A and B are shown apart, each in its own frame.
Chain A
Amino acid sequence: MAGIVCRTASQIISSQASCSSVLAVRHSHWFTSVLSLKTSIPLRAEPKKKKKVDPRREIMMKERLKKKLKRLEKVPPELIPIEDFITPAKCFDETRIRDAPKLSFEESERRALLLKEWSRYKYSQHQTEMDTIEEALEAQRQALDELKLESEELYKAAVSSDMDLFPFQREGPSYTPPITNYEAPEGKYNNITRVYTQ
């Protein structure tokens, strides 16, 4: 479009050039000097066409990134430290050691004898517990045998597992009984556990 305009303009000017001096007449600022070389940037040109080198370059970049990721993944993840297994530095502080008291002979004897007495007591306690459990199991076994003799269906129903029982939760005994209508005071709780991510 601009080229055609320039050509018509040059025709007009060349026809006039014979009579008038050679002057670059600008009828409009859109037309640059006709006789000079076209050095301006075409302001309404089409978008630049992508050169073939660019897609190749992008593919190369992606591959390089993937290789870096693979190298990072190959490294085994750092193990999360178990806080319980690391003795805190406080325990190695020497100022904290207590003076060990010296035990008299009677005291050490008393301790040894008490420990033996305790082991005997615990053993007998364990025996009674085991016996009670055995007897309860035996009673149940006999009950199931009797039921089997009575009716097969009832026996099967009894032996089937109870789906509603588990998960089973119950609060155990405390030192003092619960106070009726007790409102516990509200307190703050700052959770300082460390969370590790791999």
Chain B
Amino acid sequence: MAAPFTRVYRPLWRIITTTTLNKGVRNVSSTRQQWSAQNVKTAGVASPWALHGAVCLQRLPVVSQDRSPIEDEFMELMHQMELERSLLSDHELRLLEDAARMSRKQEEESDEEEEDYRDKDIFTAQDLEDIWEQKLKQYQPAQRSQGVDEKGVSSSERCLAESLILLVKKDVGSQKLWLLPQIQWQTGETLRQTAERALASLPVGADLKATFLGNAPCGFYKYKYPKDIQKEGSVGAKVFFFKALLSGHKHLPLEKNSFAWVKKDELQDFLKPEYLKQVRRFIMAL
């Protein structure tokens, strides 16, 4: 089994913790240099931090983003410039020929010997264009944007143009908090397996198929238990986040009050500030 580290850090911790705000859940940011200097390996003493594995399940965008005004303008310009610098295509040549032929026909109505109608196609290029137009109209694509908040926060079909993160409402101590799905680490498994278990342990976890991106965590969050819960040997908890991408389409709608699919800018409405600060770092919404 793992031989965990021990650290001798007691006096520095007291100094740091007294300066932080007094909330139900205390958040600590430490300096790495101090810890590495005091790294003493002694077997038999368990680490006072409880380990948790959490999963950052992301539903990537299904539909491309809308263009910003400058992108629109630039696209127009590029189309124009490319058209100006191009050569005439076969279809365009045909259009010109047909137009010339029609004008000639109208001018010299009797002179038809030169036209071999039998050899030329029955359709003119303009007719072909109309036929293609008709065929296109027969196909109805699905709607791009679903309108403003047509779907609730708990549906994974909302905001198709952006990536969404799954949040779960959980009891932590006495409060109900919105968190990324997390679960306690058990001895004998790697943290990635803990994260997978966290995903599977959700009530609809079996339905959410996810691809985990690698074995390494993408971020972590550390918090100390409030003083009354702190026992000997457990100071607080460390949560390690793992990134996963949601695979597959069409998921069942989840329970509204306990699940939410949120965009990056909506995260601040759901998460606590310190937690949010750490989580924002590894969520990329470009």
Residues of A within 8 A of B (CB): 91, 93, 95-98, 100-101, 111, 114-115, 117-118, 121, 128-129, 132-133, 135-136, 138-140, 142-147, 149-154, 157-162, 165, 168, 170, 173-180
Contact = CB atoms under 8 A, between A and B. Distances in A.
Contacts of B35: 149
Given A143-B218, A176-B141, A114 B77 contact: yes
Interface stretch (B85-93, B168-176, B200-208): B85-93
A151 B142 CA distance: 51
B64 A98 contact: no
A165 B211 CA distance: 8
Secondary structure call for the A interface: helix
Contacts of B93: 95-96
Interface string B108-150: 0000000000000000000000000000000001111000000
Given A96-B88, A150-B5, A142 B142 contact: no
B217 A165 contact: no
Contact of B2 (A153, A165, A178, A180): A153
A133 B218 contact: no
B100 interface: no
A100 B161 CA distance: 39
Contacts of B245: 170
Interface stretch (B13-21, B266-274, B277-285): B277-285
A98 B87 contact: yes
- Interface centre among A135, A146, A161, by most chain B C-beta atoms within 10 angstroms, is A146
A118 B87 contact: no
A162 B238 CA distance: 23
Interface of B: 1-5, 7, 32, 35, 39, 47, 49, 51, 60-64, 70-71, 73-74, 77, 81, 84, 86-88, 93, 141-144, 160-161, 190-192, 211-220, 222, 238, 240-241, 245, 247, 249-250, 278, 281-282, 284, 286
Given A143-B217, A147-B217, A158-B191, A177 B74 contact: no
Contacts of A121: 70-71
Contacts of B192: 157-158
7 contacts: A129-B286, A139-B219, A142-B220, A165-B211, A165-B213, A173-B60, A177-B143
Nearest to A93: B87
A173 B59 CA distance: 11
A175 B51 contact: no
Nearest to B281: A139
Given A98-B87, A139-B281, A142-B220, A152 B142 contact: no
B238 A150 contact: yes
A73 to B, nearest CB: 45
B224 to A, nearest CB: 14
- Interface centre among B51, B87, B241, B247, by most chain A C-beta atoms within 10 angstroms, is B87
A37 B213 CA distance: 103
